[in-house]
Protein backbone atom coordinates (compact mmCIF):
# COMPACT_ATOMS: atom_id res chain seq x y z
CA UNK A 1 0.00 0.00 0.00
CA UNK A 2 1.14 3.53 -0.84
CA UNK A 3 1.35 4.75 2.75
CA UNK A 4 2.04 1.50 4.64
CA UNK A 5 4.36 2.16 7.58
CA UNK A 6 3.84 5.90 7.21
CA UNK A 7 2.69 7.83 10.26
CA UNK A 8 0.44 10.75 9.38
CA UNK A 9 -0.89 13.49 11.66
CA UNK A 10 -4.09 15.05 10.35
CA UNK A 11 -5.52 18.06 12.20
CA UNK A 12 -9.15 19.00 11.70
CA UNK A 13 -9.73 15.27 11.14
CA UNK A 14 -13.37 15.49 12.16
CA UNK A 15 -14.20 18.38 9.83
CA UNK A 16 -15.80 18.45 6.39
CA UNK A 17 -12.48 18.23 4.54
CA UNK A 18 -10.66 16.32 7.26
CA UNK A 19 -12.88 13.23 7.07
CA UNK A 20 -12.34 12.40 3.38
CA UNK A 21 -8.63 13.08 3.76
CA UNK A 22 -8.44 10.71 6.73
CA UNK A 23 -10.42 8.09 4.75
CA UNK A 24 -8.07 8.34 1.79
CA UNK A 25 -4.94 7.79 3.91
CA UNK A 26 -6.55 4.89 5.80
CA UNK A 27 -7.51 3.34 2.46
CA UNK A 28 -3.84 3.33 1.52
CA UNK A 29 -2.49 1.74 4.67
CA UNK A 30 -1.37 4.76 6.71
CA UNK A 31 -1.23 5.01 10.48
CA UNK A 32 -3.30 8.13 11.08
CA UNK A 33 -3.17 10.24 14.22
CA UNK A 34 -6.43 12.19 14.00
CA UNK A 35 -6.37 15.44 15.96
CA UNK A 36 -9.52 17.31 16.94
CA UNK A 37 -11.09 18.58 20.11
CA UNK A 38 -12.68 15.16 20.76
CA UNK A 39 -11.29 12.00 22.40
CA UNK A 40 -12.90 9.70 19.86
CA UNK A 41 -14.86 9.73 16.61
CA UNK A 42 -17.17 6.74 16.01
CA UNK A 43 -17.48 7.30 12.23
CA UNK A 44 -13.73 7.42 11.65
CA UNK A 45 -13.15 4.46 14.00
CA UNK A 46 -15.72 2.40 12.09
CA UNK A 47 -14.29 3.44 8.74
CA UNK A 48 -10.77 2.44 9.77
CA UNK A 49 -11.93 -1.13 10.57
CA UNK A 50 -12.54 -1.82 6.89
CA UNK A 51 -9.20 -0.50 5.69
CA UNK A 52 -5.58 -1.60 5.88
CA UNK A 53 -4.78 1.53 7.89
CA UNK A 54 -4.90 2.30 11.59
CA UNK A 55 -6.22 5.29 13.45
CA UNK A 56 -5.56 6.82 16.86
CA UNK A 57 -7.52 9.76 18.21
CA UNK A 58 -5.73 12.63 19.87
CA UNK A 59 -7.52 15.48 21.59
CA UNK A 60 -5.82 18.87 21.44
CA UNK A 61 -6.54 22.57 21.41
CA UNK A 62 -4.37 23.71 18.54
CA UNK A 63 -4.27 27.28 19.80
CA UNK A 64 -2.60 26.19 23.04
CA UNK A 65 1.13 25.41 22.94
CA UNK A 66 1.24 23.00 25.87
CA UNK A 67 -1.76 21.08 24.48
CA UNK A 68 -0.10 20.80 21.05
CA UNK A 69 3.22 19.72 22.55
CA UNK A 70 1.56 17.10 24.78
CA UNK A 71 -0.44 15.73 21.83
CA UNK A 72 2.70 15.51 19.68
CA UNK A 73 4.64 13.75 22.48
CA UNK A 74 1.80 11.23 22.86
CA UNK A 75 1.76 10.55 19.12
CA UNK A 76 5.55 10.12 18.96
CA UNK A 77 5.43 7.74 21.93
CA UNK A 78 2.73 5.63 20.25
CA UNK A 79 3.94 5.72 16.63
CA UNK A 80 7.68 6.33 16.99
CA UNK A 81 8.02 8.80 14.12
CA UNK A 82 5.97 11.22 12.03
CA UNK A 83 6.48 11.23 8.28
CA UNK A 84 3.56 13.46 7.27
CA UNK A 85 1.77 16.41 8.89
CA UNK A 86 -1.45 17.65 7.28
CA UNK A 87 -2.75 20.87 8.85
CA UNK A 88 -6.43 21.03 7.91
CA UNK A 89 -7.96 22.57 11.06
CA UNK A 90 -9.15 26.10 10.49
CA UNK A 91 -12.21 28.23 10.27
CA UNK A 92 -13.92 31.20 8.67
CA UNK A 93 -15.38 34.46 9.91
CA UNK A 94 -16.56 37.24 7.64
CA UNK A 95 -19.28 39.69 6.79
CA UNK A 96 -17.77 42.79 8.40
CA UNK A 97 -15.47 45.55 7.24
CA UNK A 98 -12.11 45.62 9.02
CA UNK A 99 -13.21 48.76 10.88
CA UNK A 100 -16.15 46.79 12.32
CA UNK A 101 -14.25 43.59 13.12
CA UNK A 102 -14.07 42.77 16.82
CA UNK A 103 -10.65 42.04 18.27
CA UNK A 104 -12.03 38.68 19.41
CA UNK A 105 -12.86 37.69 15.83
CA UNK A 106 -9.42 38.81 14.65
CA UNK A 107 -7.73 36.76 17.37
CA UNK A 108 -9.92 33.70 16.67
CA UNK A 109 -8.95 33.74 12.99
CA UNK A 110 -5.25 34.12 13.80
CA UNK A 111 -5.46 31.32 16.37
CA UNK A 112 -7.44 28.84 14.23
CA UNK A 113 -5.70 29.41 10.92
CA UNK A 114 -2.16 30.56 11.70
CA UNK A 115 -1.13 29.97 15.30
CA UNK A 116 -2.36 26.36 15.04
CA UNK A 117 -0.05 25.64 12.09
CA UNK A 118 2.88 27.46 13.69
CA UNK A 119 2.52 25.38 16.87
CA UNK A 120 2.00 22.06 15.07
CA UNK A 121 4.92 22.66 12.71
CA UNK A 122 7.15 23.70 15.59
CA UNK A 123 6.24 20.57 17.53
CA UNK A 124 6.62 18.13 14.63
CA UNK A 125 9.27 19.53 12.31
CA UNK A 126 12.24 19.09 14.64
CA UNK A 127 11.57 15.34 14.81
CA UNK A 128 11.32 15.34 10.99
CA UNK A 129 14.62 17.27 10.73
CA UNK A 130 16.41 14.70 12.87
CA UNK A 131 15.28 11.93 10.50
CA UNK A 132 15.88 13.91 7.30
CA UNK A 133 12.38 13.20 6.01
CA UNK A 134 9.04 14.93 6.15
CA UNK A 135 6.07 16.25 4.21
CA UNK A 136 3.89 19.07 5.54
CA UNK A 137 0.69 20.22 3.84
CA UNK A 138 -1.27 23.29 4.91
CA UNK A 139 -4.77 24.27 3.80
CA UNK A 140 -4.97 27.90 2.78
CA UNK A 141 -7.66 29.65 0.71
CA UNK A 142 -7.81 30.77 -2.91
CA UNK A 143 -9.23 34.13 -1.82
CA UNK A 144 -5.79 35.10 -0.45
CA UNK A 145 -4.62 35.50 -4.06
CA UNK A 146 -7.10 38.30 -4.76
CA UNK A 147 -8.27 39.63 -1.38
CA UNK A 148 -11.71 41.20 -1.22
CA UNK A 149 -13.71 43.06 1.43
CA UNK A 150 -15.47 41.82 4.56
CA UNK A 151 -13.25 38.89 5.45
CA UNK A 152 -10.09 40.71 6.47
CA UNK A 153 -9.24 38.68 9.58
CA UNK A 154 -9.69 35.39 7.71
CA UNK A 155 -7.71 36.50 4.66
CA UNK A 156 -4.83 37.94 6.69
CA UNK A 157 -4.60 34.74 8.75
CA UNK A 158 -4.48 32.58 5.61
CA UNK A 159 -2.04 34.96 3.89
CA UNK A 160 0.19 34.57 6.94
CA UNK A 161 -0.15 30.82 6.49
CA UNK A 162 1.04 31.15 2.87
CA UNK A 163 4.16 32.97 4.05
CA UNK A 164 4.74 30.50 6.88
CA UNK A 165 4.53 27.69 4.31
CA UNK A 166 7.23 29.30 2.17
CA UNK A 167 9.51 30.01 5.13
CA UNK A 168 9.19 26.42 6.44
CA UNK A 169 9.89 25.10 2.94
CA UNK A 170 13.16 27.05 2.85
CA UNK A 171 14.09 25.93 6.36
CA UNK A 172 13.36 22.27 5.61
CA UNK A 173 14.77 21.83 2.14
CA UNK A 174 18.33 20.94 3.20
CA UNK A 175 16.98 18.08 5.33
CA UNK A 176 14.55 16.65 2.78
CA UNK A 177 11.37 18.17 4.16
CA UNK A 178 8.85 19.56 1.69
CA UNK A 179 6.20 22.04 2.82
CA UNK A 180 3.35 23.09 0.54
CA UNK A 181 -0.09 24.64 0.85
CA UNK A 182 -3.28 24.05 -1.10
CA UNK A 183 -5.51 27.07 -1.68
CA UNK A 184 -9.02 25.90 -2.60
CA UNK A 185 -11.98 27.97 -3.58
CA UNK A 186 -15.29 27.00 -1.98
CA UNK A 187 -15.31 23.29 -1.10
CA UNK A 188 -18.27 20.98 -1.76
CA UNK A 189 -19.21 20.28 1.86
CA UNK A 190 -22.58 19.64 3.51
CA UNK A 191 -22.09 22.84 5.53
CA UNK A 192 -21.51 25.00 2.45
CA UNK A 193 -24.44 23.39 0.63
CA UNK A 194 -26.61 24.33 3.60
CA UNK A 195 -25.43 27.95 3.53
CA UNK A 196 -25.87 28.25 -0.26
CA UNK A 197 -28.57 25.78 -1.33
CA UNK A 198 -29.18 27.47 -4.70
CA UNK A 199 -25.56 27.70 -5.88
CA UNK A 200 -24.23 25.46 -8.65
CA UNK A 201 -22.62 22.82 -6.45
CA UNK A 202 -21.10 20.97 -9.41
CA UNK A 203 -18.63 23.83 -9.81
CA UNK A 204 -17.29 23.67 -6.27
CA UNK A 205 -14.00 21.99 -5.36
CA UNK A 206 -14.53 18.35 -4.39
CA UNK A 207 -12.91 17.26 -1.10
CA UNK A 208 -11.77 14.08 -2.86
CA UNK A 209 -9.83 16.18 -5.40
CA UNK A 210 -8.07 17.97 -2.57
CA UNK A 211 -7.34 14.61 -0.94
CA UNK A 212 -5.84 13.34 -4.23
CA UNK A 213 -3.51 16.33 -4.42
CA UNK A 214 -2.52 16.07 -0.75
CA UNK A 215 -1.62 12.41 -1.26
CA UNK A 216 0.49 13.15 -4.31
CA UNK A 217 2.41 15.87 -2.45
CA UNK A 218 2.97 13.43 0.44
CA UNK A 219 4.39 10.53 -1.58
CA UNK A 220 8.10 9.84 -1.31
CA UNK A 221 8.22 10.54 -5.08
CA UNK A 222 7.65 14.22 -4.43
CA UNK A 223 10.99 15.79 -3.56
CA UNK A 224 10.72 18.72 -5.95
CA UNK A 225 7.46 20.51 -5.22
CA UNK A 226 8.32 22.65 -2.22
CA UNK A 227 7.13 26.02 -0.94
CA UNK A 228 4.21 26.22 -3.36
CA UNK A 229 0.74 27.55 -2.72
CA UNK A 230 -1.26 25.41 -5.13
CA UNK A 231 -4.48 27.02 -6.29
CA UNK A 232 -7.66 24.95 -6.70
CA UNK A 233 -10.33 27.21 -8.22
CA UNK A 234 -13.99 26.37 -8.64
CA UNK A 235 -15.06 25.41 -12.18
CA UNK A 236 -16.44 28.04 -14.52
Ligand X SMILES: NC(=O)c1ccc[n+]([C@@H]2O[C@H](COP(=O)([O-])OP(=O)(O)OC[C@H]3O[C@@H](n4cnc5c(N)ncnc54)[C@H](OP(=O)(O)O)[C@@H]3O)[C@@H](O)[C@H]2O)c1
Q: What is the DSSP string of 45-67?
A: HHHHHTSS-EEEEEE--TT-HHH
Work out how close the CB of 199 gets to ligand X at its nearest, in angstroms, rounded to a whole number.
11
Work out how close the CB of 213 gets to ligand X at its nearest, in angstroms, rounded to a whole number.
13
Question: What span, in angstroms and rounded, lies between the C-alpha atoms of 1 and 53?
Answer: 9
Work out how close the CB of 73 gets to ligand X at its nearest, in angstroms, rounded to a whole number.
16
The SS3 of residue 138 is: strand
With respect to ligand X, which residue has the nearer C-beta, 10 or 125? 10
Q: Is 95 left (phi over 0), alpha (psi -120 to 50) or beta?
A: left
* Site residues (vs ligand X, CB under 6 A): 12-18, 36-38, 60-63, 88-92, 112, 139, 141, 184, 186-187, 189, 192
Helix axes 207-218, 18-27, angle to 10 degrees: 50
- Rounded to 5 degrees, φ, ψ at 118 are -60, -50
Work out how close the CB of 112 gets to ligand X at its nearest, in angstroms, rounded to a whole number.
5
With respect to ligand X, which residue has the nearer C-beta, 35 or 176? 35
With respect to ligand X, which residue has the nearer C-beta, 59 or 173? 59
With respect to ligand X, which residue has the nearer C-beta, 134 or 207? 207
Amino acid sequence: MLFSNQNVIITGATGNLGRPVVHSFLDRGANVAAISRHDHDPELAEYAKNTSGNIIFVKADLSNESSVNQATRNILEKLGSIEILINIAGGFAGGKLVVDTELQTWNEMMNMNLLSVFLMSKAVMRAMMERHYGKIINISALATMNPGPKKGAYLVSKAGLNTLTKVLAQEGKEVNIQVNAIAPSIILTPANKGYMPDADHDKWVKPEAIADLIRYLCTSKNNDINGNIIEMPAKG
